[in-house]
Structure formats: C-alpha cells, structure tokens
C-alpha cells in the first residue's frame, strides 16, 4: 500500500522518546490515545513481546530487482494489496507445524503478505471483481515499489518469513496466505477466508505504502463496524483494535519509526470500512503499512534487511502481547 517510516539503516534513525511521543499524541488526537496508553501502561518501557532478537529466516542482503516492478504507479489505498483467488491453482495457505511449547503454544497466527510477486503477470485475473460485503472491488493489485524497483510483494514476503520464525520460536502455529507458491493472489476475499478457516487468534496483513515523497511513517489499519452483505465485523472490531494498538506501540519501540505524518492524525491508527480483507474477517485482523516506498528515506529503511528484521520483531512483539492478554509484558 502506501506508507512511510523514519530514516534508519543508513543513516541512523531518529529515536523517538516514548515520553515525548505520548505528549505529542495527546496534543494531536486525545481520543486516539487509547492505543498508546495501552502500550505505556500495559507493555511499558522495555516490556513486551519477547524482545530477544531472533535470527532472520530470510536473507537480509540488498533488495533483489529480479521481480518486475508493479505496473501501476504509487499504490493507493486499494484493498491494501488484496489477493487474488485464482481460477487456476489451489488456494495457498502454507502453515508451520504446531508449536510444541512456548507462551503461544496452541495459538494460531495467520500472516498475510500483501500482493503476490506474480500478480503483475496476471492482470486479467487480479482485475476481476469480488464481493467484499459493502461493494465489489478488484481481486488484488500488483502493489507498489521503490523508485529503484524493490517491490512491495518482495518486501511483504521477506517480513512474513522473519515474523514466522519469531512467532514459531514462541510456540505459535503460523500460516501464510501465500508464499509465492501460486501464480497470483489469493484474492482479498479468499485471504480473509484463510484466516477465518484457520480460526486464527490473530491475523496480520503486511504492506508498504506508495504515497508521495515526504510522506513518512507507519500506520496500522483497523476494521470499522460493518454489517452489510457477507460482511459483519461487529464482533471483531474491539479485539482488532486491541491487536492494532499493541502492534503500533511495539513497532515504535523496536524500529524507532514514527507514526505516519499523513494519515491517522499522528496516532499510527486508521479505521477503514472499504477493505475486503478486513470486512470479511471473522477473527481479529489488522493491516500494517510499514512505510512509504516512494519516499527516499523510508525506502532506505524498507530495503534494509536489518530494518526489516526490526519491523518483523516489532510486529511480532505486538502480536505476542495481544495474545498473552491484558497486563502481559509480551
């Protein structure tokens, strides 16, 4: 999708002191302080999410340009890179073996890497419209890319692999909606169904934005209350917000990135009712826009293997904190 993040891997990122950030957020959007208050009060400094650094499960070298960049311009909101439920090939939901032990033993986490690397070769398939409850929209999109051609699809898969390793270490069973193991997709409606069928305890859809230069920072997209057609999010709005707040707090702590300076009023939290991946989910689910691929400073972060490991750690720590319940340190 389209989002940003601070300068980090070359040059060293600005570190935001949580105290100053909390004051700024209070001045900007008092009503949105709930998420940050939860982080400060529940996770606290240095608390939460098993900060033990885990080794990456994917290479951390320079970005590969072997995958052709997406055909569109900057990726707009769309369905935060929905997925395509292809007419050819079987639905993909690669899963780890159930975790034998650890604090998340018995928990199921679904990671949804936005946009399949093969989508750009299947324009007709991903452009077909699917029902997202409130309306019909494209099955999926190609996603965005940096100006140098590092694609959102490559980014999301890399972070998904790193998250899978971190969460499996904590005992979770982890499923991916796709692992570049199908020609395209899945479509946004099928992505939602994968999490629903898995009876996931948490679902995280990974993205990066394609906004204008100068727009920086991450944001977490939460489902709004939707009850129309096949969509009924009313039961998961609350748990999804709690999941999003935990992820946002830990993302700041681990990456040093600031909340988006162009959406969310400085809170890092955005509610939407037009995304099929959220509208059709019957389990707690959020989208994470990790940064803006079209901003050079954010792009430097997103193309850094070291920073992607931090992003994976921050998101995973938020998931762990959410799954362990109120008052848990992660």
Query: The CATH number of the domain where 25 resides is what?
Result: 3.40.630.40
In a domain, 99, yes or no: yes
In a domain, 52, yes or no: yes
In a domain, 297, yes or no: yes
Rg of the chain, C-alpha, whole Å: 18
Report how many domains make up the chain.
1
* Domain membership of residue 31 as a residue range: 18-57+71-324
Residue 101 has what pLDDT? 81
Catalytic residue among 138, 152, 168, 289: 289
Residue 327 has what pLDDT? 64
Short-list 272, 108, 100, CA closest to 174: 108
Q: Is 289 a catalytic residue?
A: yes
In a domain, 105, yes or no: yes
Residue 12 has what pLDDT? 38
CB 167 within 8 A of CB 203: no
| Residue 151 to residue 179: CA distance in whole angstroms | 15
- The shares of helix, strand and coil residues in the chain, as percent rounded to the nearest 5, are 35, 15, 50
In the block, which residue shows the tokens 């989508």?
119
In a domain, 329, yes or no: no
CB 110 within 8 A of CB 23: no
In a domain, 107, yes or no: yes
CB 292 within 8 A of CB 211: yes
Q: How far apart, in Å, are the Cα atoms of 151 and each of 63, 115, 156, 158, 211?
A: 9, 9, 9, 11, 14
Residue 86 has what pLDDT? 34
pTM for the predicted model, two decimal places: 0.74
Low-confidence ranges of the chain (pLDDT < 50): 1-91
Structure tokens at 114: 């936005």
In a domain, 4, yes or no: no
| Residue 64 to residue 53: CA distance in whole angstroms | 24
| Residue 75 to residue 77: CA distance in whole angstroms | 7
Residue 328 has what pLDDT? 63
Q: For 32-83, how does the pLDDT look when each residue is reduced to its tens digit (9 = 90+)?
A: 333 444 344 444 433 333 333 333 333 333 343 333 443 333 343 334 433 3
| Residue 273 to residue 250: CA distance in whole angstroms | 25
Burial environment of residue 157 by CB neighbours within 10 A (0 to 12, 13 to 18, 19 or more): buried
Q: For 246-285, how does the pLDDT look when each residue is reduced to its tens digit (9 = 90+)?
A: 999 999 999 999 999 999 999 999 999 999 999 999 999 9
Angle between helices 237-255 and 18-28 (to 10 degrees): 140
Residue 93 has what pLDDT? 62
In the chain, the DSSP E strands lie at 94-95, 108-113, 129-131, 136-138, 173-176, 202-209, 219-223, 227-228, 231-232, 269-272, 285-292
In a domain, 98, yes or no: yes
């Amino acid at each position: 999708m389209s989002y940003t993040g601070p300068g980090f891997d070359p040059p060293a990122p600005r570190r935001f002191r949580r105290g100053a950030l909390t004051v700024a957020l209070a001045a900007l959007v008092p009503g949105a302080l709930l998420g940050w208050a939860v982080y400060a009060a529940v996770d606290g400094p240095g608390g939460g999410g098993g900060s033990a650094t885990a080794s990456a499960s994917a290479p951390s070298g320079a970005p590969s340009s072997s995958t052709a960049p997406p055909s569109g311009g900057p990726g707009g909101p769309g369905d935060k890179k929905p997925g395509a439920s292809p007419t050819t090939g079987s639905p993909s939901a690669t899963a780890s073996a159930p975790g034998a032990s650890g604090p998340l033993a018995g928990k199921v986490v679904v990671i949804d890497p936005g946009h399949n690397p093969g989508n750009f070769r299947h324009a007709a398939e991903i452009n077909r419209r699917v029902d997202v409850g409130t309306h019909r929209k494209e099955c999926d999109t190609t996603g965005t890319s940096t100006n140098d051609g590092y694609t959102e699809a490559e980014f999301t898969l890399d972070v998904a692999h790193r998250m899978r390793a971190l969460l499996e270490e904590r005992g979770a069973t982890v499923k991916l909606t796709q692992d570049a193991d199908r020609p395209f997709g899945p479509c946004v409606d099928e992505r939602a169904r994968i999490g629903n069928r898995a009876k996931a305890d948490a679902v995280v859809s990974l993205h990066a934005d394609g906004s204008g230069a100068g727009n920086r920072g991450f944001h977490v997209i939460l489902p709004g209350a939707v009850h129309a057609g096949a969509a009924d999010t009313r039961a998961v709005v609350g748990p999804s917000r709690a999941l999003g707040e935990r992820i946002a707090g830990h993302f700041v702590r681990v990456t040093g990135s600031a909340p988006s300076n162009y959406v969310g009023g400085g809170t890092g939290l955005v509610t939407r009712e037009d995304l099929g991946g959220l509208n059709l989910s019957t389990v707690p689910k959020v989208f994470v826009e990790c940064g803006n691929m079209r901003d050079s400073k954010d792009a430097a972060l997103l193309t850094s293997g070291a920073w992607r490991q931090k992003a994976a750690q921050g998101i995973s720590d938020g998931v762990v904190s959410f799954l362990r319940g109120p008052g848990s340190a992660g």
